[in-house]
Amino acid sequence: MSMVDVGGKHSVFREAVAEGFIKLRAESVKRIREGGVEKGDVFGVARVGGVLAAKRTSEVVPLCHQLRLAGVDVRLEIVDELRVRAEVAVSAVEKTGVEMEALVGVCVALLTVWDMVKGYEKDEGGQYPLTRIEGVRVVRKVKDV
Amino acid sequence: MSMVDVGGKHSVFREAVAEGFIKLRAESVKRIREGGVEKGDVFGVARVGGVLAAKRTSEVVPLCHQLRLAGVDVRLEIVDELRVRAEVAVSAVEKTGVEMEALVGVCVALLTVWDMVKGYEKDEGGQYPLTRIEGVRVVRKVKDV
Amino acid sequence: MSMVDVGGKHSVFREAVAEGFIKLRAESVKRIREGGVEKGDVFGVARVGGVLAAKRTSEVVPLCHQLRLAGVDVRLEIVDELRVRAEVAVSAVEKTGVEMEALVGVCVALLTVWDMVKGYEKDEGGQYPLTRIEGVRVVRKVKDV
Amino acid sequence: MSMVDVGGKHSVFREAVAEGFIKLRAESVKRIREGGVEKGDVFGVARVGGVLAAKRTSEVVPLCHQLRLAGVDVRLEIVDELRVRAEVAVSAVEKTGVEMEALVGVCVALLTVWDMVKGYEKDEGGQYPLTRIEGVRVVRKVKDV
Amino acid sequence: MSMVDVGGKHSVFREAVAEGFIKLRAESVKRIREGGVEKGDVFGVARVGGVLAAKRTSEVVPLCHQLRLAGVDVRLEIVDELRVRAEVAVSAVEKTGVEMEALVGVCVALLTVWDMVKGYEKDEGGQYPLTRIEGVRVVRKVKDV
Amino acid sequence: MSMVDVGGKHSVFREAVAEGFIKLRAESVKRIREGGVEKGDVFGVARVGGVLAAKRTSEVVPLCHQLRLAGVDVRLEIVDELRVRAEVAVSAVEKTGVEMEALVGVCVALLTVWDMVKGYEKDEGGQYPLTRIEGVRVVRKVKDV
């Protein structure tokens, strides 16, 4: 097993956009929309979580190379009364692509949303019958030639 | 915004099991099954990634409390020729639940799988038309009274 | 040199509140007040930075013990047209006090504010003639007997 | 909110010097001068804390870019019988300035000093009536054209 | 004390190979060979531990510069019935050598082996009469002119 | 593979002492003794490196549990004109032993020594013909019943 050698590759501009969704109860989405979540500003905290996590991708995903990201942009939006969408765009001038960084950002942003609305998602038995992360994917990758 | 005070809660045994799926191309799943992935033992690396990430949840999800996990168990299996499933079980004697730790473990294990089969998932334009993380959820939570 | 042994101490409820100030240009404070900072919601990002940093105190201050914080609360407010104040309250049931955690939270929250309004603080030569962090102190410590 | 894209900027030589002060009781300063602090060599430990923290700035200040620092120099000195001064000089060939790295180094060096003389700073009620971090600022920034 | 300034050095291709040995009881080596270690695949986990640690060298060794490693290759092998050998090869295009990264990788890989066979190494008094890490050295360094 | 469940174990006082040696050239040892190492106070920096690393053991050795260390004591001494010895004592009231923490502390303290005298250890070809870490072992473990 090895972190593959990219020493021979050229540093070029690279960009990746990833997205993902979290299914929530209507109450949680309503509270997010109205600013009624006790733990604070859900999207604000999730955006910071996503940016910080994207920068630490190589510490978390074992075989990812250490990159210096030029830009990270995390967006969160309410899709409908039962779903929130996260989109993370990452750019860098590096030897390897930045899609893993974008995907890590999406996952951590959505997990942060989950963590902040936990109290409204659990049923009386403490279980999460509905909450779910879905559709985490790379929307597009760009690599300058 | 604040990390909610759990000082008044009791430390009791807690357990959480989370799961998630990654959709892959048939070639990737075949290579995982046959040990033909150039970067190494996919499930082996993903399990380690999942365990390490579960332990660092409070560094990544901003409002999670620091917990000392008693046990972390990461399982990966091929579901069918197009899907891999990750299951993470976490236990602790703590004041808060451990579902976020289990979920972080699932996400990082699946992202590690993705990272290791990247080369077989991209199309000729460098895009990922099929790869997707789906169905990340808490299977069950247990809390001793 | 050693991290002093606290094995003989009892775990009791502890709390610490720390505060600190950052002197800014009027334009920066005005933009913070009106939400006109290009990089985003200054106080929102600074609060998350403060919480995350407080939790990682033992990684940053070499001889601090690892604590599990029960609660962290970061507050930011505009004091007057030239100053922002950060207050961080930390609580834990531990063998050592939590004032270092509160102080780290204050410093990182204020540094995050600085980082976000950098563009408005620099003069034409790229220098910071006015920006300054002042008055970082422990407001009070509480220790249950 | 986003970590602003610096992909279009040029990597040039950059340097920043930051300073800050900690007000202490006369006993603490005397002990630092005479090597009588039980926890060990205060300035030695604080210098290491400052260097390590400067390197990890992008993990701590949410919107800071990841930089590879070329040099970090942490200096600590007794100013008078009630004050210690920290000065941190950071250099790098990068696309963004390094003043946040220098400021983080100053804050952590001063916090480490505080942590090591805690026992001499507290009054009989366990409070810190005098200890204070003051005057944290950027002394100068240099950017080659 | 300072992290020496390497700003004037040129980025060239660099490589370093380090090795080290761990002396174990015959039972542990036999179990590793036969896959009979309860905690799991010893070499698999140790390789991941080694790669991740090599990447984080600058966080752990205080005066090491932050490098972006191009490649990391960790190999583990049974030397004889009482010894395991780790070899780590690291490459990068950077201003400083990568031998510390290779050495950190070797030490953490061997420590991970130790951790995983702990149960078979301890005597009835819970002591480790035989286990030992030996011969950790740099096999060779390469630097392109 | 799993981080073994220690939920059923009792928290008792535990202590571990580990040691290790680094073989150096006579010039390096002489410089350490006389304070003539350009990079600074070798033992001072190595002690801080050792303490910080011991606290982060669970991040580095994949299957180690997160522990809160009660005390960490790192000692360094010149054994003879060609060798330095590191000894690390760690204590905690926890469910698992602390020998891995002591061993990580020893390895990182010795690696830090190496890093600081690198310039005196290399031959004219940039190789390390003599430098070596040897005899890393657990001196004793204590566990209260």
D73-113: pLDDT as tens digits: 999 999 999 999 999 999 999 999 999 999 999 999 999 99
Place of tokens 């942490």: D74
Rounded to an integer, the average pLDDT of C65-80 is: 96
What's the pLDDT score for residue D1? 74
Picking from A45, A103, A110 by the largest number of B CB atoms within 10 A of its own CB, the best residue to mutate is: A103
Residue C1 has pLDDT above 80, yes or no: no
> Within 10 Å of residue E86's Cβ, how many Cβ atoms?
28
Q: Is residue F96 part of a domain?
A: yes
Q: Is residue A29 part of a domain?
A: yes
The nearest alpha carbon in chain E to D76 belongs to: E1
* Token code pair at residue E133: 């890490």
The percentage of residues in chain E with a pLDDT greater than 70, rounded to a whole number, is 100
Query: CA F36, CA F28: separation in Å to the nearest integer?
Result: 9
CA-to-CA dists, residue A86 to A69, A74, B41, C135, D57, angstroms: 19, 7, 31, 39, 26
* Token code pair at residue F60: 């580095």
The nearest alpha carbon in chain C to B62 belongs to: C52
Query: CA C20, CA D20: separation in Å to the nearest integer?
Result: 14
Amino acid at C36: G
Of the candidate ranges A126-130, C140-144, D79-83, E77-81, the one whose mean pLDDT is the lowest: C140-144
Give chains near E: 3+ CB pairs under 8 A: A, B, D, F
Rounded to an integer, the average pLDDT of E7-24 is: 93
Picking from F57, F58, F66 by the largest number of B CB atoms within 10 A of its own CB, the best residue to mutate is: F66
User: How high is the mean pLDDT of chain E?
Assistant: 95
Q: pLDDT tens digits, residue range F98-133?
A: 999 999 999 999 999 999 999 999 999 999 999 999
The nearest alpha carbon in chain A to E105 belongs to: A2
E3 or F128: which leads in pLDDT:
F128
Residue C7 has pLDDT above 90, yes or no: no
Q: Is residue E2 part of a domain?
A: no
Residue B145 has pLDDT above 90, yes or no: no
In 3D, which of E110, E106, E118 has the Cα closest to residue E39? E118
The residues facing A84 across adjacent strands are A22, A78
Q: pLDDT tens digits, residue range D2-52?
A: 888 887 788 899 999 999 999 999 999 999 999 999 999 999 999 999 999
Q: pLDDT tens digits, residue range E109-133?
A: 999 999 999 999 999 999 999 999 9
Query: What residues of chain B have any CB closer than 8 angstroms to a CB in chain C?
Result: 1-7, 58-59, 62-63, 65-68, 95
Q: What burial letters (b/e) apply to C78-115, b meaning 16+ CB within 10 Å?
A: eeeeebbbbbbbbbbbbbbbbbbbbbbbbbbbbbbbbb
- The domain spanning residue C53 has which CATH number? 3.30.70.640
Grouping H, G, I as helix, E, B as strand and the rest as coil, residue B80 is: strand
Query: CA E122, CA F140: separation in Å to the nearest integer?
Result: 11
Rounded to an integer, the average pLDDT of E76-87 is: 98
Give chains near B: 3+ CB pairs under 8 A: A, C, E, F
Picking from F15, F42, F60 by the largest number of E CB atoms within 10 A of its own CB, the best residue to mutate is: F60
User: How high is the mean pLDDT of chain F?
Assistant: 95
In 3D, which of A115, A69, C54, B1 has the Cα closest to residue D63? A69
In 3D, which of E136, E24, E143, E33 has the Cα closest to residue E88? E136
Of the candidate ranges A83-87, C139-143, E103-107, the one whose mean pLDDT is the lowest: C139-143
Residue E145 has pLDDT above 80, yes or no: no
Residue F145 has pLDDT above 80, yes or no: no
F108/chain E closest Cα distance in angstroms: 7
Q: Exposed/middle/buried for A127, CB within 10 Å: 0-12, 13-18, 19+?
A: middle
What's the pLDDT score for residue B34? 97
Q: Name every chain B residue with its beta carbon within 8 A of the beta carbon of E41.
A: 41, 44
Q: Is residue D46 part of a domain?
A: yes
Residue B128 has pLDDT above 80, yes or no: yes
The percentage of residues in chain C with a pLDDT greater than 90, rounded to a whole number, is 90
Q: Where does the pLDDT of residue A42 fall: very low under 50, low under 70, confident under 90, or very high at 90 and above?
A: very high
| 0.85 surpassed by complex ipTM | yes
* Token code pair at residue E54: 């090599």
Largest Cα span, chain C: 57
Amino acid at A20: G
Q: pLDDT tens digits, residue range F72-103?
A: 999 999 999 999 999 999 999 999 999 999 99
Q: Name every chain C residue with its beta carbon within 8 A of the beta carbon of A53.
A: none
Q: Could you give the angle at which helices D99-121 and D42-55 cross, rounded to 10 degrees?
A: 150
The pTM of the full predicted model, rounded to 2 decimals, is 0.96
D73 is catalytic: no
* Token code pair at residue F76: 């360094």
The nearest alpha carbon in chain D to F46 belongs to: D48
Query: CA F119, CA B64: separation in Å to the nearest integer?
Result: 44
Rounded to a whole number of angstroms, the distance between the first and last alpha carbons of chain E is 30
The nearest alpha carbon in chain C to D138 belongs to: C128
In 3D, which of F135, E134, E95 has the Cα closest to residue D92? E95
Q: Is residue B6 part of a domain?
A: no
Q: Is residue A7 part of a domain?
A: no
Residue A115 DSSP label: H
What's the pLDDT score for residue D2? 81
Grouping H, G, I as helix, E, B as strand and the rest as coil, residue F88 is: strand
Give yes or no for a contact between B53 and B69, defined as CB atoms under 8 angstroms apart.
Answer: no
Total domains present in chain D = 1
Place of tokens 């690599």: A143
Rounded to an integer, the average pLDDT of E61-84 is: 97
What's the pLDDT score for residue C39? 94
What's the pLDDT score for residue A4? 83
Query: Contact B112/A61, CB-based, under 8 Å?
Result: yes
Q: Is residue D5 part of a domain?
A: no
Q: Where does the pLDDT of residue A6 fall: very low under 50, low under 70, confident under 90, or very high at 90 and above?
A: confident
What's the pLDDT score for residue D86? 98
Which segments within chain A are labelled E, that is strand?
2-3, 12-23, 71-80, 83-94, 132-143
Query: Contact A62/E71, CB-based, under 8 Å?
Result: no
User: How high is the mean pLDDT of chain B?
Assistant: 95
Q: pLDDT tens digits, residue range C9-37?
A: 888 999 999 999 999 999 999 999 999 99
Query: Contact F70/C2, CB-based, under 8 Å?
Result: no
**What amino acid positions of C are annotated as catalytic residues?**
115
C15: left (phi over 0), alpha (psi -120 to 50) or beta: beta
What's the pLDDT score for residue C78? 98
Which string of DSSP letters, residue by residue, matches chain C? -EE---TTS--EEEEEEEEEEEE--HHHHHHHHHT--TT--HHHHHHHHHHHHHHTHHHHSTTPPP---SEEEEEEEEEETTEEEEEEEEEEEESS--HHHHHHHHHHHHHHHHHHHHHHH--TTS--SS-EEEEEEEEEEEE--
Rounded to an integer, the average pLDDT of C37-50 is: 97
Query: CA A15, CA D34: separation in Å to the nearest integer?
Result: 56
Rounded to an integer, the average pLDDT of E60-74 is: 96
Give phi and psi for F78, each to the nearest 5.
Answer: -85, 120
Q: Where does the pLDDT of residue F10 fall: very low under 50, low under 70, confident under 90, or very high at 90 and above?
A: confident
Query: Contact F44/D41, CB-based, under 8 Å?
Result: yes
Beta-carbon contacts below 8 Å between A and C: 16
What's the pLDDT score for residue E102? 98
Place of tokens 């290791």: B116
Query: Contact F62/E48, CB-based, under 8 Å?
Result: yes
Which string of DSSP letters, residue by residue, matches F117-143? HHHHH--TTS--SS-EEEEEEEEEEEE
Query: What residues of chain B have any CB closer than 8 angstroms to a CB in chain E?
Result: 40-41, 44-45, 47-49, 52
What's the pLDDT score for residue D80? 97
* Token code pair at residue E126: 């819970």
What's the pLDDT score for residue E135? 98
Half-sphere exposure of D74 (CA within 13 A, CB side): 33
Query: Contact D127/C140, CB-based, under 8 Å?
Result: yes
DSSP-H helix ranges across D1-145: 26-34, 42-55, 57-60, 99-121
Q: What is the CA radius of gyration of chain D?
A: 17
Query: CA E114, CA F137: separation in Å to the nearest integer?
Result: 10
Q: Is residue A5 part of a domain?
A: no
D143/chain C closest Cα distance in angstroms: 9
Segments forming the whole domain that contains residue A16: 12-143
Q: Name every chain A residue with its beta carbon within 8 A of the beta carbon of D92.
A: none
**What amino acid positions of F are annotated as catalytic residues?**
115
What's the pLDDT score for residue B13? 93
User: How high is the mean pLDDT of chain A?
Assistant: 95
